[in-house]
């Protein structure tokens, strides 16, 4: 029966080529636009560490003075050196990492390369294990290296390719300005999206090229950057004691019990600091998990959301358009449908036949939409935005495209098909 309906559908398309083409094109445009924007949205709001993200948390404390105090306000996004170090050393979480961003001048040993600047991350030992960072050669550094301000570094694969021609460079020296650091590890390709652990340096930034122990970087006075928030007479000179939040703190807590316990610990810590006189604001702590953090920081650009809404509005108009055209088309065939009814076809089979016809249009629109989405994403990739290179269609979005196109066109076919089935066969036959 299905093949027969299919044949009928194809016959009907041949009779009304322009109208059919118009319907397919309208669906294709709507689907193409919405799938392009939806894919970008999907990529940008994705989970950077699937399977692990629910165990990673950002502790927030409020060490600020009473200036601008507002009850119930959010604590700062980052922590001070003192709080960061206290929480790091207390080791109350399964893993914890304290870090900041920086820029370092790399002086290649090869004479044919000019010195150049790369982004760096000054962090602590747990970074590599906590964030599932893949290593091509060697390994990260240990907590002892952190304590000893060891002159060690981990570099990325691309920097290793540039400096050492892709060979295992562990044990070699990396010259940063005046200081030499021993390379202990080389990262494999790694680009978590979004750049969740430090959104201030770009929500979709690439990972840094050089990783150095935080204590070492401070000791060598390597240039730091990223966001910093100070209060009560800002003095950037002695950041270790300054009333400034400038470090990102992340903890790994493997169960929800541990998370609850850790939050209690944060409250206690906050109260303890109040008794010591360091904190003056009432205890105000937060412990958001990774996805909650990304949501709180609203990482997805509002323009991308706006574009997605626009595209779906566009799809809606295209669908209304298709419903109108389909209605016209089906009603025009009232005579033919009347004959089929008179010859014994049930309303149900007529309805099925018309739905098959709209589904075929939907399929055509889906294929067209897919082509347009590929083109649209190619266009997005040509743009200079930081997330441009990420815009690719994955399997799940490919499937979504087809389901959306098929579903949309069947929904669009429902009303016209139902209306067409209400035809009284006798009346149609008589008028003919």
Partner 1 sequence: MTTHPILAALRKHKAGVVLIALQIALTLAIVCNAIFIIGQRIERVHRVTGIDESNLFLVTQQWVGAPDGDDAAGVAKLDNMQREDLAALRNLPDVASVAPINSLPLLNSSWNGAISLKPGSEMRKGGNTRTTFYFGDEQMLSTLGVRLVAGRAFTVADVQHRSMHDQTEPTVVIVTKPIADKLFPGGSAVGKAMYLDGSTVPTTIIGVIERLQVPGTGSWTNTFAYNATLEPLRIDANYSRYVVRAKPGRMEAAMKAMPSLLYKINPMRVLDDDSVKSFADIRAAAYRADVGMAILMGVVCLVLLGVTAAGIVGLTSFWVGQRHRQIGVRRALGARKIDILHYFQIENLMIAGAGALIGVALAVGLNAWLMKHFEMDRIPVVYVLVGLVALVALGQAAVFVPARRASNVSPIEATRAV
- Kindly state the smallest distance separating residue 302's Cβ from partner 1, in Å: 5
CA dihedral of 64, 67, 73, 74, whole degrees rounded to 10: -30
Nearer CB in complex with partner 1: 292/324? 324
Distance of CA 94 to the CA centre of its chain: 26
- Kindly state the smallest distance separating residue 308's Cβ from partner 1, in Å: 12
Nearer CB in complex with partner 1: 178/257? 178
Nearer CB in complex with partner 1: 29/266? 29
- Kindly state the smallest distance separating residue 21's Cβ from partner 1, in Å: 10
Helix 347-382 to helix 334-342 angle, to the nearest 10 degrees? 140
Contacts of 346 (CB under 8 A, 6+ apart): none
Distance of CA 121 to the CA centre of its chain: 21
How far apart (Å, rounded) are the C-alpha atoms in residues 214 and 223?
12
- Kindly state the smallest distance separating residue 385's Cβ from partner 1, in Å: 7
How far apart (Å, rounded) are the C-alpha atoms in residues 386 and 117?
19
- Kindly state the smallest distance separating residue 349's Cβ from partner 1, in Å: 22
How far apart (Å, rounded) are the C-alpha atoms in residues 309 and 323?
21
Nearer CB in complex with partner 1: 257/303? 303
- Kindly state the smallest distance separating residue 431's Cβ from partner 1, in Å: 8
Alpha carbon separation from 404 to 150, 319, 369 (Å, rounded): 56, 12, 10
- Kindly state the smallest distance separating residue 155's Cβ from partner 1, in Å: 18
Whether the CA torsion 347, 349, 350, 356 is positive or negative: it is positive
Q: Which residue has the tokens 């050669």?
A: 137
Nearer CB in complex with partner 1: 26/423? 26
Instruction: Name the percent of the chain in helix, strand, coil, to the closest 5.
Output: 50, 15, 30
Answer whether 37's CB lies under 8 Å from 314's CB: no
Nearer CB in complex with partner 1: 95/281? 281
Binding site for partner 1 (CB under 8 A): 18-19, 22, 26, 29, 33, 67-68, 103, 105, 107, 114-117, 177-178, 221, 223, 234-237, 302-303, 305-307, 310-311, 313-314, 316-318, 320-321, 323-325, 327-329, 331-332, 383-385, 415, 419, 431-432
Nearer CB in complex with partner 1: 29/200? 29
């Amino acid at each position: 029966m299905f093949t027969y309906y299919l044949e009928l559908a194809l016959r009907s398309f041949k009779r009304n080529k322009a109208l059919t083409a118009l319907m397919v094109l309208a669906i294709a445009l709507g689907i193409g636009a919405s799938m392009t924007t939806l894919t970008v949205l999907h990529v940008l709001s994705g989970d950077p560490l699937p399977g692990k993200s629910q165990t990673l948390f950002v502790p927030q404390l409020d060490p600020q003075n009473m200036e601008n105090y507002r009850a119930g306000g959010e604590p700062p996004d980052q922590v001070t050196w003192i709080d960061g170090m206290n929480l790091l050393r207390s080791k109350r979480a399964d893993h914890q990492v304290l870090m900041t961003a920086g820029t370092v001048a790399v002086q290649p040993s090869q004479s044919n390369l000019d010195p150049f600047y790369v982004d760096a991350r000054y962090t602590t030992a747990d970074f590599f294990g906590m964030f599932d960072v893949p290593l091509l050669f060697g390994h990260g550094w240990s907590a002892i290296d952190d304590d000893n301000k060891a002159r060690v570094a981990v570099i990325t694969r691309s920097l290793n390719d540039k400096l050492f021609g892709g060979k295992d460079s562990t044990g070699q020296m990396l010259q940063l300005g005046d200081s030499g650091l021993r390379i202990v590890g080389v990262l494999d390709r790694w680009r978590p999206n979004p750049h969740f652990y430090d959104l201030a340096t770009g929500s979709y930034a690439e990972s840094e090229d050089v990783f150095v122990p935080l204590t070492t970087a401070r000791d060598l006075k390597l240039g730091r950057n990223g966001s910093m928030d100070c209060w009560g007479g800002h003095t950037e000179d002695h950041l270790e004691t300054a009333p400034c939040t400038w470090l990102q703190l992340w903890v790994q807590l493997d169960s929800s019990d541990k998370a609850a316990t850790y939050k209690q610990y944060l409250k206690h810590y906050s109260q303890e600091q109040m008794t010591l006189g360091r904190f003056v604001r009432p205890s105000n702590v937060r412990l958001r998990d990774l996805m909650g953090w990304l949501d709180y920081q609203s990482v997805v650009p509002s323009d991308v959301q706006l574009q997605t809404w626009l595209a779906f509005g566009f799809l809606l108009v295209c669908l209304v358009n298709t419903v109108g055209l389909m209605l016209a088309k089906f009603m025009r065939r009232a005579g033919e449908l009347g004959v089929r009814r008179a010859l014994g076809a049930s309303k149900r089979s007529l309805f099925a036949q018309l739905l098959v016809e709209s589904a075929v249009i939907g399929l055509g629109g889906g294929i067209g939409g897919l082509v347009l989405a590929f083109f649209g994403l190619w266009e997005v990739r040509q743009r200079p935005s930081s997330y441009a290179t990420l815009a690719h269609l994955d399997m799940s979005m490919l499937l979504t495209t087809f389901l959306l196109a098929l579903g949309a066109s069947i929904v669009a076919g429902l009303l016209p098909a139902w209306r067409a089935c209400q035809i009284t066969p006798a009346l149609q036959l008589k008028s003919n």
